[in-house]
Structure 1
Amino acid sequence: MMIGLVGSYGSPAQMVRLAHEAEQHGWDGFFTWDGVSLADEGFDTVACYDPFSILAAVASVTQRITLGALVFAAPRHRPWELAQRALTVDHLSGGRLVLPVGVGVPTERAVTSVHGQPSARRDRAGLLDDVLAWLERSWSGEEFSFEGTHLSTGPFRFPQRPVHGRIPVWPVAVWDADRPPLKSLDRALRWDGVVAQVRGDSPEDAEAGPEAIAGLVAWAAAHRDPAAGPWQVVVQGRLSADDGQAAEQLAAAADAGATWWVESWWDPRTVTPEHLLRVARRRLPRP
């Protein structure tokens, strides 16, 4: 199983240093996050930086680790600008970019304070599908026009394709064995992986444990064509400071079917750049 780290808080320079330290200490991935102006208490004083600028800088000081964000709020981006930024980081990094994507935080002011920006979850989900379809068309290298449910454009052409022909896309999907949200699950099946969550009011509450992961993986195995290629299952959490317990956490996630563990520290009251740097420098307790 691969192990990544989210650079949740800090200046751009601190995030770049964090990513470099993570690679030097054996981590497999570095992720930033995608926000503009957050309204939630505690988060409303957190500085938000452009994720692609951060990742471009990180690409220049790393050689191996996977790069991305948890998660890109794709419906908020103009798809042609998103395609250009993603292509730039993809080539700077030699093809190490991945695109975890979701509908975005509903209380973000880039949604609630912008006239005409879709705010209903259904509309943002529909726009997410259009943006992803547009991105995929842009990777063909051919001229294309697009007509979706929420988005239509005339001709575009991106003559330079991604390094590996396409950029992996990992949509967020919620697992609920009693009430599975089939639209988000089906979206994840169509792409290259899933950022797994459960229903919850906070990032920590929404973390999927081994039981939920096992249920999601079993459902996906029954509904996804095995010939479709590799499918990543991404979970978030915080490893115990005790190496033995941390190894057990990783083993439990891997046994349930997770392929990525992403170390995610989100509480703005307690998490500092210095804490994240200590996390990046720990010896990884590989199971």
Structure 2
Amino acid sequence: MRVGIDVFGAERFFDGAIRGALDLAVLADRAGVDLLTTSDHLGFTRQAHAERVRTHAFPFPLEQAWPEPLSLLSAVAAVTERIHLGAYVLVAPLRPAVLLAKQIATLDAVSGGRARIGMGVGWQEDEYAAAGIPFRGRFGRLEETLAACRELWEAESPSFDGSDFAFDDFHSLPRPVQKRVPVILGLGSSQRNFDRIARVGDGWAVTPADMPDLEAGVARLRQTFVDHGRDPGAAEVQVLLPVQVRDDGAADFDAMADAARSAVAAGADTVLLRPSALPVEGAELDAVVAWLVSLTDG
């Protein structure tokens, strides 16, 4: 089992200071956490936010800050040494492919080869409208965006002809340190999405809706890798642990440990925790991180 920490919302432990996420990153890096992620939205309309709260119990207020992930991860890279850096998940189609490729390649170069990015398509049509990007066709745009990134990262003479953009013999440096930057796609459990992952991705960031059928989903994903001529064991499966609390309102770490072990038994190999979602205070972060790392002991 690999363990990860999601630093989204960590400012609540540091008197509202966004840079407090860097202190949490240093703590996790030194403790032996494998992966650090954060979450992504460019913004919300008030109406779309209220609807998401109503229909999906969206847990974040409209006033919640959403630092741009690749900017934050670059800052994290500067203060850490070994932890991998990712997103759970980046709404990739909102970024121009050439710019996104440059940002991730720069992050990988600055961090010495530690980028491990989660990508998805998001859910908010108003967010796409605000960015001037069509909401319709976003799944195909995600696949084309990642394919274009791989071309820019890996090809000797990068060329791409997509539905919305194209380039020919276009060289964008620096290139990533890694031969292949791992990209984990956060998509719903469907054959079409698993085919997308097998074509251009390296794994699956599981959505909360798919957690009850995780074992079946993982089996389907790995078979899809086989069908595409890829090693099924190479498909990484990431899950974000749901918060569980005791009757007295305290975090139930025993129940969450059981949930982590169950996820691994079902096929997950990376389990993430978001401390800001827990009913804990800043003084308890050391203990929370130590607990997270202890999950790898067995």
Query: TM-score, normalized by length of structure 1?
Result: 0.83
For the residues of structure 2 that align with 1:59 and 1:276, how far apart are their CA atoms? 24
Conservation of the 8 A alpha-carbon contact between 1:76 and 1:104: no
Residue 23 of structure 1: how far off its partner (Å):
1.9
**In the alignment, which residue of structure 2 is the partner of 1:70?**
88
SS at match of 1:136: helix
Distance 1:275 1:237, change over 3 A: farther
Which consecutive unaligned segments of at least 5 residues does structure 2 have? Answer: 12-16, 51-59, 245-250
Conservation of the 8 A alpha-carbon contact between 1:18 and 1:280: no
Residue 261 of structure 1: how far off its partner (Å):
0.8
2:263 to 229, 253, 262: 253
2:187 to 164, 173, 189: 173
Instruction: Look up the equivalent residue of 1:193 and give its one-letter code.
Output: G
Residue 217 of structure 1: how far off its partner (Å):
1.7
Per mean C-alpha deviation after superposition, the further-off stretch among 148-157 and 188-197 is 148-157
RMSD: 2.6
Conservation of the 8 A alpha-carbon contact between 2:6 and 2:274: yes
Matches within 5 A, 1:50-61: 50-61=68-79
For residues 139-166 of structure 1, what are the alpha-carbon distances to aligned partners after superposition, in whole Å with 9 as ceiling and x for unaligned? 1252322111333234411354321212
Conservation of the 8 A alpha-carbon contact between 2:194 and 2:224: no
For the residues of structure 1 that align with 2:170 and 2:280, how far apart are their CA atoms? 43
Matches within 5 A, 1:1-287: 1-9=1-9, 10=11, 11-39=17-45, 40-41=49-50, 42-107=60-125, 109=127, 111-115=128-132, 117-120=133-136, 123-175=137-189, 181-190=190-199, 191-197=201-207, 206-209=208-211, 211-225=212-226, 227-228=230-231, 230-238=234-242, 240=244, 241-264=251-274, 274=282, 277=285, 280-284=288-292, 285-286=294-295, 287=298
Instruction: Look up the equivalent residue of 1:16 and give its one-letter code.
Output: L
Structure with a larger share of its residues in strand: 1
Structure with a larger share of its residues in helix: 2
SS at match of 1:4: strand
For the residues of structure 2 that align with 1:113 and 1:254, how far apart are their CA atoms? 39
Residue 62 of structure 1: how far off its partner (Å):
1.1
Residue 278 of structure 1: how far off its partner (Å):
6.0
Per mean C-alpha deviation after superposition, the further-off stretch among 58-67 and 240-249 is 240-249
SS at match of 1:170: strand
Residue 280 of structure 1: how far off its partner (Å):
4.6
For the residues of structure 2 that align with 1:234 and 1:53, how far apart are their CA atoms? 22
For residues 241-276 of structure 1, what are the alpha-carbon distances to aligned partners after superposition, in whole Å with 9 as ceiling and x for unaligned? 444433322211111110111113676xx8798489
For the residues of structure 1 that align with 2:281 and 2:73, how far apart are their CA atoms? 17
Per mean C-alpha deviation after superposition, the further-off stretch among 158-167 and 92-101 is 158-167
Task: Give me the identity figure in percent.
Answer: 28
For the residues of structure 2 that align with 1:158 and 1:170, how far apart are their CA atoms? 23
Distance 1:207 1:217, change over 3 A: same
Residue 79 of structure 1: how far off its partner (Å):
1.1
Residue 186 of structure 1: how far off its partner (Å):
0.9
Query: TM-score, normalized by length of structure 2?
Result: 0.80
Residue 112 of structure 1: how far off its partner (Å):
2.7
Residue 107 of structure 1: how far off its partner (Å):
4.5
For the residues of structure 2 that align with 1:78 and 1:86, how far apart are their CA atoms? 12
Conservation of the 8 A alpha-carbon contact between 1:101 and 1:169: yes
For the residues of structure 1 that align with 2:65 and 2:80, how far apart are their CA atoms? 24
Conservation of the 8 A alpha-carbon contact between 2:88 and 2:186: no
